[in-house]
Structure 1
């Protein structure tokens, strides 16, 4: 499993999921970014995701795939309940 550290960001939570959790040779790095829309606009969340991918791409040759959900969307689709994940 790849070790990945993302500095805490107010009103954002980050979760690893997918092959990066169970494979010695993952095909990519999947990250769920959950944001609080009471404090963060969708536009700001998208900008943050872009910057995060840019920064992480400097440290790994693996493709970084993300899913961006508000806390409300995550509850509605039960993403974390249905996926093996690790909070980072």
Structure 2
């Protein structure tokens, strides 16, 4: 693995990086690697949860649309006799 040193980093950027790392429960170094991967590697960017789930379901189901059952009227309430 290569090593990279970043000099003259703005204090505001360093502070935001520290906060992001804490939110993700990792070091600033790991957070920097994560950000660089997301930005520089094709297809590695995160999509929203709904989009990711949709793509997984389409992949697992073979891409077909599910047929929804026809709606019906609700059942009537049962009759109870008073004694």
TM-score bracket for the superposition, by shorter chain length: under 0.3
Higher relative contact order (CA 8 A, sep 6+): 1
Greater C-alpha Rg:
2
| TM-score for both structures, normalised by structure 1 | 0.22
Structure with the larger strand share:
1
Structure with the larger helix share:
2
